[in-house]
Amino acid sequence: MLRSAKDGLKIKIQGIYRIQYEGEKVYVGQSRKTVEKRCKEYQRYISLHQTEKSAVVKHCNSTVYCMNISSTSILH
C-alpha cells in the first residue's frame, strides 16, 4: 500500500533518494528520471497492482509495510 504524496513534493532532480516505510524500514534507490517522477511511477504501479514493474512495488504488496512518499529525501 502507498500513501499519497503531499502536493508540491520538491524533488525535481535526478539522483540517489530515500523513501521511509512505516516503521523503521527504508528504501534507497537511484534514478536517472527525476525523483518526483519515479515516486509517481511507484504510486501508479501500486494502485494498478503491477508488481512486475518494480521490486519496491512487489515488496509493498507482499508485506504490511506502507511507503510514505511524502518523506522522500535526496541523498546525493
Predicted confidence at residue 61, as pLDDT, reads 73
26-55 pLDDT per residue, tens: 888 898 989 889 888 888 888 888 888 888
For residue 56, pLDDT over 60 is answered with yes
For residue 67, pLDDT over 60 is answered with yes
Could you list the residue range(s) of the whole structural domain that residue 23 is in? 8-74
* Per-residue DSSP letter, 6: P
pTM given for the model: 0.70
> Percentage of the chain with pLDDT > 70?
83
Distance CA 16, CA 74 (A): 6
- Residue in the structure block whose three cell numbers are 524500514: 25
Any domain includes 52 = yes
Any domain includes 18 = yes
Any domain includes 66 = yes
Distance CA 54, CA 67 (A): 13
Structural domains counted in the chain: 1
Any domain includes 2 = no
